A and B are shown apart, each in its own frame.
Chain A
Amino acid sequence: MEATVTADMLEREKAFNDRIARGEVIEPKDWMPERYRKQLIRMMSQHAHSEIVGMLPEGNWITRAPSLSRKASLLAKVQDEAGHGLYIYSATETLGVDRLELTQQFLDGNAKYSSIFNYPTLSWADIGAIGWLVDGAAIVNQTALAKCSYGPYSRAMLRICKEENFHHKQGYQILSIMMQGTAEQKEMAQDAVNRFWWPSLMMFGPSDANSPNSEELMRWKVKLHSNDDLRQRFIDRTVPQGEAIGLTFPDDKLKYSETTRSYEWGQINWDEFKAVVSGNGPCNKQRMQARKTAEENGQWVRAAAEAYAAKHYN
């Protein structure tokens, strides 16, 4: 009996792998290996949590934006990030998990989110650096994910990528204008880049050799490029943009190689990355607390919505 089940499973798994190999897109009700489902839930929910937590460092500057127009742009950008969180939670739910369950995992401290959002936003220039570098890195990642094998995730990424271009441009524009300003403004912009450069490179995750999930995810075409490849792509696109407006990068090994037509660069501090991922970054506790407070403060709204629905729609 048991042997038949195994043989059947193997056959289904083989058929699934063949579909992946043919470049077919997997839809929610299609058969998929349990492990494929689990890995997607893990990856997509982390991604969704990151969009939500990502609103916090930028939200910090909404009330202090230097002009009404900057405030309107920042507000719209942060609202987009909330939308991104929702798209991805919805897409994750198609795998048979409830959003409330995912939120609870997060609030209980049992889910991860991108380490970049555990760094503080100390000056207005940080908003420029985040749009340009953090959203820039996110675009490189998400453009690749838009071609992934799971339909709902790929469609969510397509939608998100369209919106990210505005985020990236508004960030770069903030820094460009500051770099044309007073010595103090230039210094502020440079300082923001100095602080956000390395954490942005860490966003692509561990080096291929130390990335435990990479091999499997690439086999399933959930990931189409390795962490290191995407990181390099980001560096090659971003460095010339920075240099064009007079910014430098906090890496004395950074230099263009004519032979590879690509940048050589230094070493990521992986100890710092590990510390931040495991909860000891500069703002981890603050971010978790902010999410918990938001959840508590929203309790009465959810209760009111429920009462309203019970009265009018049941």
Chain B
Amino acid sequence: MSTDTKLITWEVFTQKKQGAAHEHAGSVKATDPKMALLNARDVYGRRNEAINMWVVPAFAITASTPEDVGPFFDPANDKLYRNPNFYKLSNTYKPVAD
């Protein structure tokens, strides 16, 4: 008895409808990309959840770490002038489009 197969993990991204962004759906195990795609279809697309799928080897993904939360995203916190709310205007100001 052995379960020594060299299956690797693939992250699955599904596009729900045309024009929508691909979203992470979960992961599957497979030895090659074709098998990964077939497994992804069987596991994450049995009920019309997707019109398109990406499979990506999990090892190819680089992610920021939870400890990064502060310093890594710092530039977003100390530049409030990137947000429209930073600019205080009189009531006469109306957006150019709704």
Contacts and interface: CB of A to CB of B under 8 A. Distances in A.
A99 B1 contact: no
Interface stretch (B31-39, B74-82, B87-95): B31-39
B46 A83 contact: yes
Going nearest first, the 5 A-B pairs with the smallest beta carbon separation are A309-B31, A302-B5, A309-B32, A305-B31, A100-B3
Interface stretch (A2-10, A33-41, A192-200, A292-300): A292-300
Contacts of B43: 83, 86-87
Contact of A90 (B27, B46, B47): B27
30 contacts: A27-B66, A29-B63, A29-B66, A30-B66, A76-B46, A79-B42, A83-B42, A83-B43, A83-B46, A86-B28, A87-B26, A90-B28, A93-B9, A99-B7, A100-B3, A100-B4, A100-B5, A100-B7, A163-B47, A295-B1, A295-B3, A302-B5, A302-B7, A305-B30, A305-B32, A306-B5, A306-B6, A309-B6, A312-B32, A313-B31
Contacts of B7: 99-100, 302
Nearest to B12: A90
A278 interface: no
Chain B residues touching A, range: 20 to 34
A173 interface: no
B26 to A, nearest CB: 6
A143 interface: no
A123 interface: no
B46 A79 contact: yes
Given A90-B26, A107-B1, A295-B3, 13 more contacts: A29-B65, A79-B46, A103-B3, A156-B26, A163-B47, A299-B2, A303-B5, A305-B5, A305-B35, A308-B31, A309-B31, A309-B32, A312-B32
B1 A296 contact: yes
Nearest to A91: B26
Contacts of A163: 47
Nearest to A31: B66
Contacts of B27: 90, 93
Contacts of B6: 306, 309
A99 B31 contact: no
Contacts of B28: 86, 90
Interface in A251-306: 292, 295-296, 299, 302-303, 305-306
Contacts of B4: 100
Which residue among A27, A80, A86 has the maximum number of chain B CB atoms within 10 Å of its CB? Answer: A86
Nearest to A301: B5
Nearest to A159: B26
B16 interface: no
A73 to B, nearest CB: 13
Contacts of A305: 5, 30-32, 35
